Amino acid sequence: MFTLIGNILKNAFGKPATRLYPFVKRELPPGVRGRLVMEGDTCVHCTLCAKRCPANAITVDRAAKQWTLNPYACIVCGYCVEACPKKCLQMKPEHDGSVAS
């Protein structure tokens, strides 16, 4: 009985256990790989990123100069970022979606 009253008082007058998400965002630790972002101006469409992707989430069409990412197949490993010779691929530390922009 007394432990129940202690828990009630602790929860009534203590800090909340959760954050107000849209207003208070969580700070991510360093080294977090969030989402894949491509800067299309510097891309030469060499297909190295697509060849290096273990999940086959990246497709590059050299003739049409198009680069697409399947966000549901991407495992956020970062191998494509390492393979890119022009460094036009980056991992942004945010988790609001894994869609390339």
- Summarised one tens digit per residue, pLDDT across range 15-34 is 888 888 878 888 888 878 88
Name the more confident of 14 and 40. 14
Residue 98 lies in a domain: no
30-80, pLDDT tens digit by residue?
878 888 888 878 889 899 999 999 999 999 999 998 989 998 999 989 999
Q: Which two tokens stand for residue 80?
A: 């494509």
Decide if 26 is inside a domain: yes
Those residues whose C-beta lies under 8 Å from the C-beta of residue 1, and which sit 6 or more positions away, are: none
- What's the pTM? 0.66
Tally of domains in the chain:
1
Burial of 26 from C-beta contacts in 10 A (0-12 / 13-18 / 19+): exposed
User: Of 91, 87, 77, nearest to 36 (Cα)?
Assistant: 91
Looking at residue 60, which CATH number applies to its domain? 3.30.70.3270
Which residue segment(s) compose the domain that 55 sits in?
A: 2-92
Q: What angle do CA 95, 99, 101 make, to 5 degrees?
A: 110
Tokens for 25? 């965002």
**73 domain-assigned:** yes
| Residue 97 in domain | no
User: How many Cα atoms sit within 13 Å of 88 on the Cβ side?
Assistant: 17
In a domain, 84, yes or no: yes
